[in-house]
Amino acid sequence: MTPEEMETVRPRLEAFAAEMLGSLARRDQRAKGELYLRGLMLDGKRKSMQPMAERLGVDHQQLQQFVASSTWDWAKVRERLARWAAAHIGPEAYAIDDVGFPKDGYDSPGVARMYCGALGKRGNCQIGVSVNLVSDHASSAVDWRLFLPESWDDTKNTSDPLLAGAIQRRRAKAAIPDSARHKEKWRLALDMLDEVREGWELPGLPVVADAGYGDATGFREGLAERGLAYAVAVKGTTTAHPGDAAPERPPYSGQGRPPGWAYPDPHTTLRQLALDAGRSAARTVTWRHGSKTMKHNPRAEMRSRFLVLRVRPANRTIRRAADGSLPECWLLAEWPPGAAEPTDYWLSTLPADTPLRELVRIAKIRWRVEHDYRELKDGLGLDHFEGRNFPGWHRHVTLASLAQAFCTMLRLDPKVPAPA
């Protein structure tokens, strides 16, 4: 926003900041929080401390102290944000996603050489995992975790005391609490879902995620244990039995251990199950309307062809029922017109009577998070934090999420002409 546009909406920003930062005990902390939000939303290429302070006309040490060394609890702020988002954007799913923060050095917490989506390759970066409340018209990143690779966890390197000691010193320098340890990203996502639902009492919505999470059997089973339905992307090489397959128990010969229940035919891949069903099983589905109209698509309809099958995902780690049967769920496969085979696959535990269009719409609803991530990174400085401690990172991403929520609030209010 330009300074003039900011002045137009500033009364609303102050009211929003007062609501979101109401858990902060001190008045000066709440004032600095509103100041930081203004800095994130004002026009400017960089949203790190010094450039923001220059645009705001303040000493950057104010911002630095508020984010890096203050004592306010970011979890309390996120809880308020989550409750606001649940009330205002009409969320229909929890979307799990992660984002890379490219870094030059090795001192920032969690930094390591990993695949970074922002770079499109492996590089030096941090990775943040988020839980987002999402609908077709808005989303809000309401909880965050910083992924810590094993190289940042001394308990994973106990066989080398010198290395463990170096990691301990590195953690202390970055102010990483002892409770923060290496966990797979999908485990961090489950932890956040527990916090959002049990601690903050948000509703049990379906969960959507890309194949980085959907391919983890433990993640899918963790969602099922929590009573959460899901529609998660998976690879076509994921193995499964057809939905109508049933285990059998061979007759006992009287010698040795009695045979257990087993499926008579070997499992196959989701790709093969879709190919066996054939292109003719796919149906054209329009799941939403986009913004780019074309001569051949004047209504900007988002549409493709999809087929659905009932399947039973199969691998050694999936728990079976007492009769040896595997859990049944939906296989959703996108098979675009003209394509030789399906291009995308999802597994879903949405109810068996879910209409195809609704199944597709929920599976595809992640698009909104990707759209709003761009706003967070390109316009609101999500990845511009240059501090080198763990609390500072968490406070910065929390404040960037508040800034994005305020922009969403302006967009959702037809009476507000200011851009956001």
Q: Residues 376, 400: contact at Cβ < 8 Å?
A: yes
Question: Average pLDDT of 168-178?
Answer: 95
pLDDT digits 0-9 by tens, 332-356: 999 999 999 999 999 999 999 999 9
Q: Has residue 83 got a pLDDT over 70? A: yes
Q: Has residue 417 got a pLDDT over 60? A: no
pLDDT at position 159, please?
84
CA distance 164 to 387: 24
pLDDT digits 0-9 by tens, 28-55: 899 999 999 999 999 988 888 888 888 9
pLDDT at position 301, please?
81
pLDDT at position 416, please?
53
pTM higher than 0.85 for the full model?
yes
The two tokens of residue 219 are 């993640």
Average pLDDT, the chain: 91
Instruction: State the angle between helix axes of 27-41 and 49-56 in degrees (0 to 180), rounded to the nearest 10.
Output: 100
CA distance 361 to 367: 10
CA distance 330 to 352: 8
Residue 418 banded pLDDT, cuts 50, 70, 90:
very low
pLDDT at position 145, please?
97
Of residues 316 and 215, which shows the higher confidence score? 215
Q: Has residue 73 got a pLDDT over 50? A: yes
The two tokens of residue 268 are 């196959």
